[in-house]
Amino acid sequence: MDNCLRNQTAKIAVPKRRVVHERLPPRGRIAAMTGAKAIEAAEVTKSYGDVKALRGVNLEIAHGQCVALLGPNGAGKTVTTEIFEGYRKRDGGDVRVLGTDPNHGDRRWKSRLGIVLQDARDLTDLTVRESVTHFSSYYPNGRTSDDVIQAVGLVEKADAKAGQLSGGQRRRLDVALGIVGRPDVLFLDEPTTGFDPEARRQFWDLIDDLKEDGTTILLTTHYLDEAEHLADQVAVINRGRVLAVDSPDALGNRQKSQAVVQWLEDGVQKSASTATPTALVGELATRLGPEIPELAILRPTLEDVYLRLIADDGGDLNIPTVAGGGSRG
Amino acid sequence: MAEATAPTSNPKATLRMPTTLALGWRRTRIELRQFFRDKESAFFTFALPMFLMIIFGSVFNTEIAPGVTFAQYFVAGMIASGVVYTGFQNLAITIPQERDDGTLKRLQGTPMPKASYFIGKIGLVLVAYVAQVILLGIIGVLFFKLELPTEASKWLTFAWVSVLGLLCCTLLGLAFSSVPKSGRGAPAIVSPVVLVLQFTSGVFFVFSQLPVWMQHLASLFPLKWLVQGMQSVFLPESFASQTTGTDSWQLGQVALVLGIWTIGGLAVALLTFRWQSRSR
Ligand SMILES: Nc1ncnc2c1ncn2[C@@H]1O[C@H](COP(=O)(O)OP(=O)(O)O)[C@@H](O)[C@H]1O
Ligand SMILES: [Mg+2]
The ranges assigned to domains in chain B are 19-272
Return the pLDDT at B72: 85
- CB spacing of B5 vs A48 below 8 angstroms: no
| Whether residue A329 has pLDDT greater than 70 | no
B106 contacts on A by Cβ (under 8 Å):
115, 117, 120, 122-123, 177
| Residues with a beta carbon under 5 angstroms from ion ligand 2 | A 77-78, 118
Q: Is the CB of A73 under 6 A from ligand 1?
A: yes
How sure is the predictor about B243, in pLDDT bands with cuts at 50, 70 and 90?
confident
Measured between CA atoms, how close is A235 to chain B, in angstroms?
15
How sure is the predictor about A183, in pLDDT bands with cuts at 50, 70 and 90?
very high
- Complex ipTM: 0.86
Measured between CA atoms, how close is A259 to chain B, in angstroms?
30
Q: Which string of b and e fits A15-33 if b means at least 16 CB within 10 Å?
A: eeeebbeebbbeeebbeeb
Atom 5 in ligand 1: which residue has the minimum CA distance? A48
How sure is the predictor about B12, in pLDDT bands with cuts at 50, 70 and 90?
low
Is A211 in the B-facing interface, judged by CB distances under 8 Å?
yes
Candidates B126, B140, B142, B160; CA nearest to B235 is B140
Distance B202 CA to ligand 1 centre (A): 50
Residue of B10, B16, B106 lying closest to A122 (CB–CB) = B106
CATH level 3 topology of A2-252+304-312: Rossmann fold (3.40.50)
| Whether residue B183 has pLDDT greater than 80 | yes
Is A246 in the B-facing interface, judged by CB distances under 8 Å?
no
pLDDT tens for B35-92 read 999 887 778 788 888 888 888 888 887 888 888 888 888 889 999 999 999 999 999 9
Closest ligand 1 atom to Cα of A76: 17
Return the pLDDT at B38: 85
Return the pLDDT at A253: 62
| Whether residue B278 has pLDDT greater than 90 | no
- CB spacing of A141 vs B12 below 8 angstroms: yes
pLDDT tens for A135-174 read 999 999 999 999 999 999 999 999 999 999 988 899 999 9
| Whether residue A31 has pLDDT greater than 80 | no
Residue of B6, B38, B105 lying closest to A125 (CB–CB) = B38
Q: How much of chain B exceeds pLDDT 90, in percent?
A: 51
| Alpha carbon distance A217, A225 (integer Å) | 17
Q: For residue B18, give the chain A residue with the closest CA.
A: A140
| Alpha carbon distance A205, B202 (integer Å) | 65
Q: Using an 8 Å Cβ cutoff, are A206 and A175 in contact?
A: yes
Q: Is the CB of A53 under 6 A from ligand 1?
A: yes
Q: Is the CB of A71 under 6 A from ligand 1?
A: yes
Return the pLDDT at A32: 53
| Alpha carbon distance A61, A208 (integer Å) | 17
3-state DSSP assignment of residue B67? coil
Distance B67 CA to ligand 1 centre (A): 66
> What pTM does this model have?
0.82
Is A51 in the B-facing interface, judged by CB distances under 8 Å?
no
pLDDT tens for B108-156 read 999 999 999 999 999 999 999 999 999 999 988 888 888 888 899 999 9
Return the pLDDT at B6: 46
Measured between CA atoms, how close is A273 to chain B, in angstroms?
34
How many residues are given for chain B? Answer: 280
Mean pLDDT across the stretch A33-60? 90
The ranges assigned to domains in chain A are 2-252+304-312, 258-298
Q: Is the CB of A77 under 6 A from ligand 1?
A: yes
How sure is the predictor about A34, in pLDDT bands with cuts at 50, 70 and 90?
low
- CB spacing of B16 vs A86 below 8 angstroms: no
Return the pLDDT at B220: 93
Is B98 in the A-facing interface, judged by CB distances under 8 Å?
yes
3-state DSSP assignment of residue A254? coil
Q: For residue B6, give the chain A residue with the closest CA.
A: A36
Please tell me what DSSP assigns to residue B64.
E
Residue of A63, A64, A107 lying closest to B17 (CB–CB) = A107
- CB spacing of A63 vs B276 below 8 angstroms: no
B101 contacts on A by Cβ (under 8 Å):
120-122, 124
Largest CA distance in chain B: 86
Q: Using an 8 Å Cβ cutoff, are A231 and A221 in contact?
A: no
| Whether residue A28 has pLDDT greater than 50 | no
| Whether residue A23 has pLDDT greater than 60 | no
Mean pLDDT across the stretch B270-276? 81
Q: What element of type H or E holds A21?
A: helix A16-22
How sure is the predictor about A257, in pLDDT bands with cuts at 50, 70 and 90?
low
pLDDT tens for B151-171 read 999 999 999 999 999 999 999
Distance A49 CA to ligand 1 centre (A): 11
pLDDT tens for B192-220 read 999 999 999 989 888 888 899 999 999 99
